[in-house]
Structure 1
Amino acid sequence: MRKQLTLLPVTLLMIALAAVAFFANQSTIHADDDHGDYRFTSTNLNIGSGAVSGIIDPSDILFDVDYFSFQALRGVKYSFVLDEITVVDANISIINSISRGNNNSPEQEITVTGGQKTVTWVARTTDTYYVEVAGTINNFDGSFYLGDYTLTGFEDTRFVDRHSDESTGATQISAGNIYQGAVSPWSNQPSLINTVDGGDDADFFSFQAQRGVKYTVEIDLGTSEGVEIAIHTGLAGLEKTNDGIGSTLSWISPKNSTYYVAVNGTTRVRDSSGTYAIKLNAETSLLDQHSQTVTGATVVSFGNAHQGSISPADDLDYFSFPAQRGARYNLDVTLGSVDGVALTITNTSGTSLASNGGVGTNLEWLSPANGTFLAVISASTQVPNVIGTYSLNLSSDNTLQDHHGDFPGIASVLSFGNAHPGAVSPKTDRDYFSFLAERGVNYSVALELITANGAVISIENSSEDTLSSTNGLGTGLGWTAASTGLFYVVVSHSPQATVGIGSYALTVSANTSLEDRHLDTASAGTPLSFGTVYQGAISPKSDLDFFTFPTQRGVEYLLDLTYGSATAVSLEVNSVGGSADTGARNFGETNIVTWTAPDTATYFVKVSASAKAAEPTGTYSLKVTPDTTLQDRHSDTPTEGTTIGFGNAIAGAISPSSDYDYFLFLADKDVSYTVDVTPGTVAGVRFSLENAAAEFSTSNFGLEQSLEWKAPEAGWYTLAVSASGRVINPTGTYLITINRQGDTRPETPKVIDPVTDPVEVPLPGITGPIGTALMLESRVSPLGSIVRVPVTFNQGESITSLGFTLNYDPDSLRVLNVERGSRLTEESFTYDTDTLGEVRFGFASTEGTTPGGTAAVIEFQVVGTAGAVSSITLSDALVNHNTSGPLTMQLVGADFKVGPRMLGDADGDSHITALDALQVLRMASNLQKVDPALDVNNDGKITIDDARIILNMARPS
């Protein structure tokens, strides 16, 4: 039989019974007791050394009580076996140590089997305890049971308490090792806690935890049916417990510190007392390897994987990296055991700049500035499992790095014609490029978009004022510098672009043909040399180009403009402070201005934009040629007149129309004199004679070319020659001769007549072609006139299409117009006159099958100097034909001479033909530009009468 002993000590009962017996039998004397009746006289019992004999013998107080002492260890399970040898019945119990009182020690169990009683008990404290063996009363007759017995003590050291019940003195353990332990004692009696009897067992183990590491406590149950596992801090704070369920406990350390594992019994099983084995496992892959703050952040190596883990859940892993403004950085996380992470970019102040919100494993970010930034990895709020490992790879796209300054002071210097790579990144980026602009030069800005699909291009001055902009539309910008100075091209983000962040290449080119080569004031104008071509440009539109040149009174100057990219310019010639009467201008239209200098002085030429031009800005060239035949050789002052001798012809010129030429000669009284004037280029002059002292004067009144008179007195006479009001052109050259009556009149010098037949200066001969040919005819025409040069076919009936180039001397001729010839179709006829000295004809189809006809007619203006001879040639001919065999085609050139044409020669071929009369008829009908030189009847205009006269001249005599 097994039963739990009562809490009432048997000793007290026995004492009471003994007292009754004592007073009833006072005369009886007993032998000495073999074991002490009190604890302080107890017999020491060696546990495990075998049985100790004892006798329950008569006693003066009821019955005998034997005490045995033993040293108990907390947690050890002790068993004491009482063999009742001769004694019929005896009691056995465990008594507390002296210091703990006189009570039975709690939690004893007794088992009765036949004549043997066994007491089992677990020591709750380490101390000296006592076994009490006492006799009992026979309930039938009231006698005492006496006799022999043996007592044997056993101990089960498996349950010895090896580990401290408090964190102080806890057993230090290491991960991976196995430690033995036992829950003993365990009674689940809260009333024993903090009493002299001692509370239930709790085993404390200490270990050094690292932040983020996942620790798992494994309990291998031995004889214990179950335990409670708990993690404690150093201040007895509970971190986590399994609440007695299961035999493992997993926990992640929130910091580097010493923590404690507490193992104790649980009410969830019948009996927790017993042995166990404990093992601590550490999952170091979750070790927090990276700092939680900016200070100590792990420095990132671009392109390399950085291992890390989110552990515990509030873990923050900081990584630092140097960033360049505008560069794109990509945070790429490969998930290990964690289900997801939150990615954040912050500055060193902790301000969040970008985040993935815990969704996904990538974060792309553009750096707004140069500096150190931080990638922060933390637990994602979007996934259930936030604890686990990951791998971080940080890469950068340096193509978006900001290579150019955001302000004029740190702008990149442009090199014209070279591509400058750059990138708009971030959106606030402004890339400044500086360049030194020259006034009037046109600058072309071209942007090649690479990864961006749009950008804003602007031109700014040094005050950051925007002068021109694309406003995000297009990739090119043209701008003409209004002044010389430092300017900036600015490339910035376009709100119009779908991909505004990206790379580009910027190229700026300068059209130096528009460079302002000539200053804007007359006082600083470019000095001109006669006959030299000067290149210039009107750019910007407000540009003024000044030139200066010295003039001679009466000289006629030809100001010849050749247009390049400008379609027209405005030209004015005058003196500083001069009036409209002293100068001339083209009113922005014609390219030829003839002007006669009213005096000998320095004049300026002002070239500006034409209000009538389709393209007012552009290039041009200017050449000034003087006609010195009109130079004023004779004084306008009577007293300084030229002394003239009799019989000698003196050349002169009326130019300008206000010009007076004075001559002085000494005449004899009553002698007759004749004044003969032979006009040169002037149609007629007015001359008069005067002697103020003799009150004599006479004149031709601008009508006759000869005047006879008789000197009334001897003395000096003044001859004044001036413009005639009775002729159309009052300016020009003349010869004047004074003859005295009775003198032998010398032969008047011959004067080259401007309309003399040019046969006297024969042109180079041209051999006529034999076979198929494309031909030109030689021409003669004076300066300023218009000459038409046809390109004709010879035996060209088999030609089906052709193209060719006509070459001419641009110093002698300027193209005014090109007309389609009779043999080429209108829809295929094209030409190009952009290159000086060339007229290029595109490939055109022919029509008709006649052997002759024209391919084209080119209308030139004569700009060369008098007497100049130049060639006109054909080249680069491409011909298609319908002949069965090969076709050989000759190209026949011609010559052109700047000189006077014969009277009535309209086309300058030195022959009077019906074609000349036809051209004059077209002029009279306003179908062709009028040429005043063809006014053969000198009536001051071109009429049908002039055409009729020329037709008569063309008929054979």
Structure 2
Amino acid sequence: IDSITVIAGLVALRAHIEVAPPHAVAASGNLTAVGASIGRVAVAIIAGLAGVHAIIAADFAAEEWRTGMRKSITLLPITLFFLAVVAVAFFSNQNIIHAEDDHGDYRFTSTNLNIGSGAVSGVINPSDILFDVDYFSFQALRGVRYTFVLDEITVVDANISIINSISRGNNSSPEQEITVTGGQKTVTWVARTTDTYYVEIAGTINNFDGSFYLGDYTLTGYEDTRFVDRHPDESTGATQISAGNVYQGAVSPWSNQPSLIDTVDGGDDVDFFSFQAQRGVKYTVEIDLGTSEGVEIAIHTGLSGLEKTNDGIGSTLSWISPKNSTYYIAVTGTTRVRDSSGTYAVKLNAETSLLDQHLQTVAGATVVSFGNAHQGSISPADDLDYFSFPAQRGVRYNLDVTLGTVDGVALTITDTSGTSLASNGGVGTNLEWLSPANGTFLAVISASTQVPNVIGTYSLNLSSDNSLQDHHGDFPGIASVLSFGNAHPGAVSPETDRDYFSFLAERGINYSVALELITANGAVISIENSAGDTLSSTNGLGTGLGWTAASTGLFYVVVSFSPQATVGIGSYALTVSANTSLEDRHLDTASTGTPLSFGTVYQGAISPQSDLDFFTFPAQRGVEYMFDLTYGSATAVSLEVNNVGGSADTGARNFGETNIVTWTAPDTATYFVKVSASAKAAEPTGTYSLKVTPDMTLQDRHSDTPTKGTRIGFGNAIAGAISPSSDYDYFQFLAEKDVSYTVDVRPGTVEGVRFSLENAAAGFSTSNFGLEQSLEWKAPEAGWYTLAVSASGRVANPTGTYLITINRQGDTRPETPNVTDPVTDPVEVPLPGITGPIGTALMLESRVSPLGSIVRVPVTFNHGESITSLGFTLNYDPDSLRVLTVERGSRLTEESFTYDVDTLGEVRFGFASTQGTTPGGTAAVIDFQVVGTAGTVSPITLSDALVNHNASGPLMMQLVGADFKVGPRALGDADGDSQVTALDALQVLRMASNLQKVDMALDVNNDGKITIDDARIILNMARPS
């Protein structure tokens, strides 16, 4: 025997014994297989094969040995024992010849086992070395559970095991379960790979006597195809599934042995399913467990990236696809249950309501249809839904979201560059936004950070408020043209909006800008010129603006956002009216002044404040002219009368105060009237009317030159007038020597005159020195005498009319008639009798007062103790009376008292509170100036009374009117009630103290002024009232 061959065989045996797994030992624990393997090594050695053949034979023997091992043993003692047994067997079996083996002893000579076709019989025969080993091959499918039943017929004991395929090495396949029942052994095993595997049947040693168990057996194979691995273990080739369908599967094999991963034995089963996912759709994987107790579900990407897993807890997994792509479901076992192996059914559900229907790019944004609902969903959580819409500057857009399954959304408005313009911050379901410009904008809907459930459906409705559309240009070049008197709708929107309106203004005209606020509650109104300068502005306070054009040209009304308003964005209506009453009708120079006609009323206006209105008229020396100003919207004007180059001595002025100016022309010439703004007026610009009335009774009828004196006849009364005060009236008559003459002057409106007689040739002159009204004298010589009548320096008013008569002594003269001013006795128009009211009333008292005087009209209470507040209107004839002042009465409180005199013929009293509980007292007192024609009677009435009271029952309120007559009043009668009372004296005392406007008609002592003496005299004249 070749020693090398023996050594090689022994080495091979040792090597295979060392690699034999511990679980390869048979359940019986005997070593019969060991003997068989050793016998095969011994045969190989004795056969004297070459070294290579010996190694191959030893490999097969070692394979037999590995198959029979079931327990770990110490290698060195076994090795020594086997060497001894080999020697004994070698020498003791040299000449024995056994029967032919019925099944191959090696895997490559194995008998094919047809699974499920019934039992296959076999015999454990004696063997050259120890005992027989039978191999059966079968085609295994991964995941299928195989069961092999060994029925020991005559053999007392035999071993059964599953061996790997040749390509997988010499090891036993792991995870075999062996059960022994009587003379039957059962092996249950799950194929970890699809390959050819082997069933090994081997004899065993009788532990009592060391003999070998030989005999017959049957082998039956079964398979449970429910566990066949139908689905790939990798995403490549994964089973494609669709939503709504059920797919059967099984977790098999499953050992939870990490050491088996990436080995020839194959890892645990993972079933991959592929599906086409759509962004935003919520997918739910449902596992219906069959025989498996539990599985782990996971979602993977195409690159095996884990998206989500249930970590083996539960049987469902919900997931929202972040994009359109192919994803994979992986189903495998879990350590959270005792045994994951088994069958299951998988179903994929897709919640398409969460399908991302709207792209999250500007270019792919969904175009919005106003007023229509657009369905959408936030899914996944980082989803952005873009909607585009065309916006117009100033229009308010409202994003209204109706929540479906989502708890809340974030609303954002952006421009096309992605700049955020407005957002709701994820709070609420509405967002209002004003478009700052015309263009395309985007509404972006995303997940809200304020709610727990950000995934879900919604409905978007976009509406617009076109009432805020910007209809008017923001610059003068594109301004809207105004039409006076018409309303122009507009809107301040957005805050930077400026609406320009253009109009052609004329110098002096006052333009009223009225803004009717509709949805806005404030705006700034401005007037600008073409250079962009602001000429006038409300600064956001109020809704009206008055402006007077200082020049003729193109101007602009600008309506803009008011920082003072709580709602500065909104609609309005703009109306601009031109007050043509302020039109500059009269030129600014004396040479171009408007010619006046006496007695005609001329309308005029001071506008702008620098305006000058000139009028011209021909004046006659001595004539007194009354310039009567009636104020319209102007509260006062300045009036000046003079001639070109005249001085203060030749003209007259009202200094911006009184409205009536009287002036006596010092010469016969053309004069001008200049009307200008009053520095003392509260409202210097506005309308007025001017009427010039000459008093022709003061016309200078007689020459100022002695040689041109008027020739007078004896006994005839000749009328004349001293006017102006420097006036001289010359008369001539022929006197006879030593005849006595009487010059008799009877004053008319003048209080007294000075006259003198002169004959220069005779050296004669005489005078009354302004004292007496008659003068007797005797002519020293016959001839022409000159009579000069002039102003008296001893009277308060030196100008006025007179009558002069020259009588010659001895003449038989008819009785000199009493010549007076042609004043017709006024027709007595009895004032209406006033019957005292019964109950609560507001009353007026009738008044009489002459032209130019001031009359006070009180409004008094009768039984007014229950009145707590009231308002009313006093009506008068503006042709007879003009309001000067209005005073609060004793019964009304100062803080609540208001009135309005802007409308001619009316004094409107605002609603005012009363004070005190007396039944009488006054509500108001009105001072009128008398401007009517003598003898005119006009009514003064009360109307529009609104009363609050604290009476227990209904309150009947009477309004008692009165009449006013233009005519002379009794001496000392200050208030025109035709009675002289202590109240008249009190008014005069107030005049003397400069507390009331002075009325010279109450100068009862004729000293030319109102003093305390006049008040004392009137008090003495007072009668009980």
What TM-score comes out, normalization by structure 2 length? 0.63
- Give the whole-Å Cα distance in 1 for the aligned partners of 2:983 and 2:427: 92
Q: CA deviation at 1:919?
A: 19
- Contact 1:39–1:130 (CA under 8 A) maintained in structure 2: yes
Moved more, 846-855 or 917-926: 846-855
- Give the whole-Å Cα distance in 1 for the aligned partners of 2:380 and 2:556: 55
1:77 counterpart = 2:145: yes
- Give the whole-Å Cα distance in 2 for the aligned partners of 1:956 and 1:69: 155
**What residue in structure 2 maps to residue 272 of structure 1?**
340
- Give the whole-Å Cα distance in 1 for the aligned partners of 2:737 and 2:349: 154
Query: Of 215, 220, 226, which aligns to 1:158?
Result: 226
Moved more, 197-206 or 624-633: 624-633
**What residue in structure 2 maps to residue 449 of structure 1?**
517
Cα displacement string for residues 704-731 of structure 1 (whole angstroms, at most 9, x for unaligned residues)? 9999999999999999999999999999
Q: The residue matched to 2:663 in structure 1 has which SS?
A: strand
Distance 1:200 1:667, change over 3 A: same
Q: CA deviation at 1:324?
A: 5.0
- Give the whole-Å Cα distance in 1 for the aligned partners of 2:123 and 2:724: 176
Q: CA deviation at 1:526?
A: 3.2
**Gap regions ≥5 residues in structure 2:** 1-68
Q: CA deviation at 1:889?
A: 26
- Contact 1:655–1:731 (CA under 8 A) maintained in structure 2: yes
Cα displacement string for residues 654-679 of structure 1 (whole angstroms, at most 9, x for unaligned residues)? 99899999999999999999999999
- Give the whole-Å Cα distance in 2 for the aligned partners of 1:31 and 1:848: 150
Q: CA deviation at 1:220?
A: 1.4
Moved more, 169-178 or 446-455: 446-455
Moved more, 485-494 or 152-161: 485-494
- Give the whole-Å Cα distance in 2 for the aligned partners of 1:141 and 1:793: 151
**What residue in structure 2 maps to residue 797 of structure 1?**
865
**What residue in structure 2 maps to residue 139 of structure 1?**
207
Q: CA deviation at 1:349?
A: 4.4
- Give the whole-Å Cα distance in 2 for the aligned partners of 1:330 and 1:701: 98
- Contact 1:453–1:500 (CA under 8 A) maintained in structure 2: yes
Q: The residue matched to 1:8 in structure 2 has which SS?
A: helix
Query: Of 963, 978, 982, which aligns to 1:895?
Result: 963
- Give the whole-Å Cα distance in 2 for the aligned partners of 1:885 and 1:3: 123
Q: CA deviation at 1:241?
A: 1.4
- Contact 2:538–2:545 (CA under 8 A) maintained in structure 1: yes
Q: CA deviation at 1:607?
A: 0.7
Q: The residue matched to 2:349 in structure 1 has which SS?
A: strand
- Contact 1:2–1:109 (CA under 8 A) maintained in structure 2: no
- Contact 1:3–1:110 (CA under 8 A) maintained in structure 2: no
Distance 1:518 1:240, change over 3 A: same
Distance 1:525 1:87, change over 3 A: same
- Give the whole-Å Cα distance in 1 for the aligned partners of 2:945 and 2:133: 152
- Contact 1:18–1:60 (CA under 8 A) maintained in structure 2: no
Distance 1:772 1:122, change over 3 A: closer
- Contact 2:826–2:935 (CA under 8 A) maintained in structure 1: no
Distance 1:884 1:755, change over 3 A: farther
Distance 1:739 1:46, change over 3 A: same
Moved more, 163-172 or 402-411: 402-411
**What residue in structure 1 maps to residue 731 of structure 2?**
663
Instruction: Give me the identity figure in percent.
Output: 93
1:473 counterpart = 2:545: no
Q: CA deviation at 1:279?
A: 0.7
Moved more, 825-834 or 465-474: 825-834
- Contact 2:981–2:1024 (CA under 8 A) maintained in structure 1: no
Q: CA deviation at 1:289?
A: 2.6
- Contact 1:20–1:62 (CA under 8 A) maintained in structure 2: no
Q: The residue matched to 1:174 in structure 2 has which SS?
A: coil
- Give the whole-Å Cα distance in 2 for the aligned partners of 1:273 and 1:853: 112
Q: CA deviation at 1:469?
A: 5.2
Moved more, 311-320 or 736-745: 736-745
- Give the whole-Å Cα distance in 1 for the aligned partners of 2:911 and 2:757: 68
- Contact 2:701–2:720 (CA under 8 A) maintained in structure 1: yes
- Give the whole-Å Cα distance in 2 for the aligned partners of 1:114 and 1:649: 182
Cα displacement string for residues 35-84 of structure 1 (whole angstroms, at most 9, x for unaligned residues)? 43333333333333344444443444444333333322222222333444
- Contact 1:2–1:111 (CA under 8 A) maintained in structure 2: no
1:847 counterpart = 2:922: no
Distance 1:664 1:203, change over 3 A: same
Q: The residue matched to 1:760 in structure 2 has which SS?
A: coil
Cα displacement string for residues 865-906 of structure 1 (whole angstroms, at most 9, x for unaligned residues)? 999999999999999999999999999999999999999999
- Give the whole-Å Cα distance in 2 for the aligned partners of 1:578 and 1:251: 106
- Contact 1:328–1:397 (CA under 8 A) maintained in structure 2: yes
Moved more, 108-117 or 906-915: 906-915
- Give the whole-Å Cα distance in 1 for the aligned partners of 2:411 and 2:861: 84
**Greater share of helix residues, 1 or 2?**
2
- Contact 1:681–1:754 (CA under 8 A) maintained in structure 2: no
Moved more, 439-448 or 167-176: 439-448
Q: The residue matched to 1:158 in structure 2 has which SS?
A: helix
Moved more, 724-733 or 330-339: 724-733
Distance 1:768 1:11, change over 3 A: closer
- Give the whole-Å Cα distance in 2 for the aligned partners of 1:201 and 1:118: 24
Q: The residue matched to 1:16 in structure 2 has which SS?
A: helix
Q: CA deviation at 1:296?
A: 3.0
- Give the whole-Å Cα distance in 2 for the aligned partners of 1:287 and 1:157: 39
What TM-score comes out, normalization by structure 1 length? 0.67
Q: CA deviation at 1:489?
A: 5.0
Distance 1:90 1:942, change over 3 A: closer
Distance 1:505 1:740, change over 3 A: same
- Give the whole-Å Cα distance in 2 for the aligned partners of 1:536 and 1:773: 41
- Give the whole-Å Cα distance in 1 for the aligned partners of 2:211 and 2:952: 168
Q: CA deviation at 1:696?
A: 18
Distance 1:302 1:757, change over 3 A: closer
- Contact 2:633–2:902 (CA under 8 A) maintained in structure 1: no
- Contact 1:808–1:838 (CA under 8 A) maintained in structure 2: yes
**What residue in structure 2 maps to residue 554 of structure 1?**
622
- Contact 1:667–1:715 (CA under 8 A) maintained in structure 2: yes
Query: Of 842, 852, 859, which aligns to 1:784?
Result: 852
Cα displacement string for residues 568-599 of structure 1 (whole angstroms, at most 9, x for unaligned residues)? 43222334444334544344455555667677
- Contact 1:14–1:63 (CA under 8 A) maintained in structure 2: no
Moved more, 662-671 or 149-158: 662-671
Q: CA deviation at 1:380?
A: 3.4
- Contact 1:754–1:900 (CA under 8 A) maintained in structure 2: no
Moved more, 119-128 or 347-356: 347-356
Moved more, 791-800 or 266-275: 791-800
- Contact 1:588–1:611 (CA under 8 A) maintained in structure 2: yes
- Give the whole-Å Cα distance in 1 for the aligned partners of 2:159 and 2:952: 153
Distance 1:285 1:872, change over 3 A: closer
- Give the whole-Å Cα distance in 1 for the aligned partners of 2:561 and 2:948: 56
**Gap regions ≥5 residues in structure 1:** none
- Give the whole-Å Cα distance in 2 for the aligned partners of 1:597 and 1:566: 28
RMSD: 9.0
- Give the whole-Å Cα distance in 2 for the aligned partners of 1:889 and 1:61: 147
- Give the whole-Å Cα distance in 2 for the aligned partners of 1:5 and 1:80: 27
Moved more, 714-723 or 344-353: 714-723
Cα displacement string for residues 823-855 of structure 1 (whole angstroms, at most 9, x for unaligned residues)? 999999999999999999999999999999999
Moved more, 415-424 or 829-838: 829-838
- Give the whole-Å Cα distance in 2 for the aligned partners of 1:338 and 1:770: 78
- Give the whole-Å Cα distance in 2 for the aligned partners of 1:800 and 1:83: 125
Q: CA deviation at 1:244?
A: 1.7
- Contact 1:757–1:901 (CA under 8 A) maintained in structure 2: no
Moved more, 530-539 or 339-348: 339-348
- Give the whole-Å Cα distance in 2 for the aligned partners of 1:521 and 1:125: 123
Moved more, 389-398 or 455-464: 455-464
**What residue in structure 1 maps to residue 39 of structure 2?**
none
Distance 1:160 1:482, change over 3 A: same
- Contact 2:410–2:424 (CA under 8 A) maintained in structure 1: yes
Moved more, 912-921 or 503-512: 912-921
Q: CA deviation at 1:232?
A: 1.1
Moved more, 78-87 or 258-267: 78-87
Query: Of 963, 966, 973, which aligns to 1:905?
Result: 973
